[in-house]
Amino acid sequence: MDIRISPSPISGSIEGIASKSFAHRALICACLANGKSKIKINTTSADIEATVDCLRNLGAGIEKNGVTYEVTPIGALPEKAKINCGESGSTIRFLLPVICALGIKTEIHGSGRLPERPLSPLKEELIRMGAVISDAFPLDVYGKITVGEYSLRGDVSSQFVTGLLMALSYLGGGVIKLIPPVQSRPYIDITLEVLRTFGADIKEENNTFYINKSSLVGCNFTVEADWSNAAFPLCMGAEVTGLNPASTQGDKAIIDVLEKMGADITRTDGSFKADVSALHGCRVNASDIPDAVPVIAAVAATAEGETVIYGGERLRIKESDRIMSTVSMIRSLGGDITETDDGMIISGKPYLSGGETDSFNDHRIAMAAVVASLRCKGDVIIRNAEAVNKSYPAFFEDFNKLGGKARVM
């Protein structure tokens, strides 16, 4: 799907969509718990549905009733299973340790760039503790990991830590030692919040997690609104409602970044609106907010002065090499941007020219291009814009509701 966008003023309000981060974790915990759960998720996406389908194939009962997923946990384990994680890195990295804890012989498939995205050192640690995992996709997984002491680097992927925390909570104990530095810490905090809601007993001291013997218990869980996807309409100048100002989500820092860039923020009972009409450059540490980098770059492209984004080395192993793809997208629309090893340097212009860019099959690049298009003199064509379905299928519908002019070519 190719989209043509004509620059137009944005105004109005939309409701924040469900947090993909919370939804993945709540659904998996519900499937590992004792007793049934009801998980309320007000919107879904390709990544969330990938996790749902995988959990069903692993033996869980999941029925959707309106916006509520009624979950019957995994009972009798299937002798073997075949799952497809689609393009969802969260799904495969969360479920790989869980599958190894369940001991189900499983064939794991993935598409897009997923087979290229790293599973080390998580994979090696699981093998050390009893699992057998093939080298090539589709992955063949069998064997069962044991309760014990696990060690992971903290600067590779918080998703590895999340998967292990859920797996060991299911097994009823274990220790996870993180080797500093620990990046994307807010995503680990989300995991701890969800696990504790389901009854897990986890203590932390000196970058070490102690999972004490306890059982996960089914419950009713409402997934909060997503700050990561709210960043896009907020950077357009629209109001987003239903956001949790006290959220553990790291991407709520988009408000701090916009304020640092000179935006005037209006806050009212979980609703946020940013006046982004007169921004200036700043320095942004991306180590805890990698998902926000493309949209920050989009607004920085027309902010006065220079913006330096650093600490984003792990952006290169996302759905695309997000440093390269962000730089390419901004440059193709007429921006002045330079790639660095761990980020980018952007010299703001009053306007961008417009033109044609690609999504690189990356939802956040496609949506960031839309944000950048609002500051272009001419139309913007986004190739392969269907990438938004990964996290925000209704993105272009919401964009047009706010006054945007996006049409399928």
Give the N- to C-terminal CA distance of the chain in Å, as an integer. 8
Check if the beta carbon of residue 274 is closer than 8 Å to that of residue 258. yes
Distances (CA, A) of 341 to 305, 314, 322, 332: 21, 10, 12, 20
Question: Distance between CA atoms of 69 and 116, rounded to whole angstroms?
Answer: 31
Question: Distance between CA atoms of 124 and 122, rounded to whole angstroms?
Answer: 6
Report which of 63, 66, 123 is spatially closest to residue 97, judged by C-alpha positions: 123
- Active-site entry in 291, 358, 362, 398: 291
Question: Distance between CA atoms of 183 and 15, rounded to whole angstroms?
Answer: 29
* Neighbouring C-beta atoms of residue 365, cutoff 10 Å: 30
Question: Distance between CA atoms of 338 and 316, rounded to whole angstroms?
Answer: 15
> Do the bridges between strand 13-15 and strand 208-211 make them parallel or antiparallel, or are there none, so unpaired?
unpaired
φ and ψ at residue 118, rounded to 5 degrees: -70, 145
- For residue 140, indicate whether it is catalytic: no
Catalytic residues: 291
